[in-house]
Amino acid sequence: MNILNHRLSEALQIESPNQDQRPDAQALELLVIHCISLPPEQFSGDYIDDLFCNRLNPEAHPYFAEIHQLKVSAHLLIRRDGTLHQYVPFNRRAWHAGVSNFEGRERCNDFSIGIELEGSVNQPYTDEQYQQLASVTRVILRHYPAITPDRITGHSDIAPGRKTDPGPFFDWPRYQALL
């Protein structure tokens, strides 16, 4: 696995329009772990790609009527089987963290990489996801040295009270041991 032109070589590249220039292109200092499932608690299908590419059909599921107009993205998605989708090159700002704060610094999107795990705060993640997340993280740590193991966090940690992902089923010790 390698990063070339801020893109992961093994990832399926699906360009999201929900991205822009970082205020400081050199400021890649944080890795944020998220989770997503669309519809909630359901896995597979193209709905996550559709959301991140602004083409989610509000009539496909009642929940989609509430969220189809959101302008959000992440750098990467790791599907349940370990498959990788990349929506935004790492040197660009993805819109994944929202109102956020890490160690007193606000606007985490400005200086972070966001990785979504296809999952739910109510269910365990798969072995394939842990293996792939660890592999991706090792490559990111090598390529972006300002991101260190102590600068990896969950969405819930940078947006407490607002976000709960990756949730109680995410096994932080297991993930850290794989690094």
Distance of CA 23 to CAs 20, 86, 107, 112, 161, Å?
9, 21, 11, 12, 27
- Whole-angstrom Cα distance, residue 39 to residue 90? 27
* DSSP-assigned letters across all residues of 149-163: GGGEEEHHHHSTTT-
Is 116 known to be catalytic?
Answer: yes
Considering the candidates 10, 59, 103, 116, report the single residue annotated as catalytic. Answer: 116
Residues tagged active-site: 116
